[in-house]
Structure 1
């Protein structure tokens, strides 16, 4: 590709049954959610690893692919809003999040509610997309 929409180099940073975290150096971090059982401990492990990578890499952008992700349970949504997101914004360069919408209607509804709550508490720009190309293009232009 001549326009370099997708960075050529990528590095798998973390993996568990629920997600892969991939670093695109000097661009963004991508979280690829898997269609796996949603356990609070696994979800929180993914987010803590994501925060660690954001701190280490000084990257400010995340592409979170929710297409196959199961719905996040209310206690974990609360944790993301009141604990993780404030720490991520305060203790790293995290400022932009592109979300590829889930195929699961319950996930989409939960994500919409979650994003509204996060926007009310931290300085984070979040946009929703239907495909990877649009999400990556928005992140790279932000």
Structure 2
């Protein structure tokens, strides 16, 4: 695995910086909090912009629940268009939660993500990281 630096963390997860490559959003197994969930994405946007990164590795494998419908809507209609415009984000690699009922990256969500960027779904972080570096 590449060297990472913690950029931001809360009880729900962490934003990790892989220098000159991409950022990782890593979720914990803690109960979902809308405030903490959105905070992770806001800090991810800030890091993408500051570091000029063009890829995100979203590791949802430890997640115990999907985000609420309101949080998904916020992600797809506010966060994602803002990030795509401000940062040039082009690739989003996701490691879905093993339990299908805990997954954010269902068909409709992936379809909406693909309106703004290229999405890859992976079972293992190494191929996801390689795919992000190839951008």
> How does the TM-score come out when normalised to structure 2?
0.92
Q: Distance in 2 between matches of 1:23 and 1:76?
A: 23
Q: CA deviation at 1:27?
A: 0.8
Q: Tell me the alpha carbon deviations over residues 74-95 of structure 1, each in whole angstroms, 9 at most, x when there is no partner.
A: 1111111110000010011211
Which of the pair has more CA radius of gyration?
A: 1
Aligned-pair RMSD on alpha carbons?
1.2
1:125 aligns with 2:118: yes
Other-structure match for 2:6? 12
Q: Distance in 1 between matches of 2:113 and 2:127?
A: 22
* Contact kept? 2:113, 2:119, Cα under 8 Å: no
Other-structure match for 1:58? 52
* Contact kept? 2:22, 2:57, Cα under 8 Å: yes
How many residue pairs match? The answer is 133
Q: Tell me the alpha carbon deviations over residues 48-88 of structure 1, each in whole angstroms, 9 at most, x when there is no partner.
A: 00000001000001111010122111111111111000001
* Contact kept? 2:15, 2:25, Cα under 8 Å: yes
Structure 1: stretches of 5+ with no match in the other structure? 1-5
4+ runs deviating over 6 angstroms: none
Q: CA deviation at 1:107?
A: 2.6
> How does the TM-score come out when normalised to structure 1?
0.88
Q: Within 5 Å, give how 1:21-32 maps onto structure 2.
A: 21-32=15-26
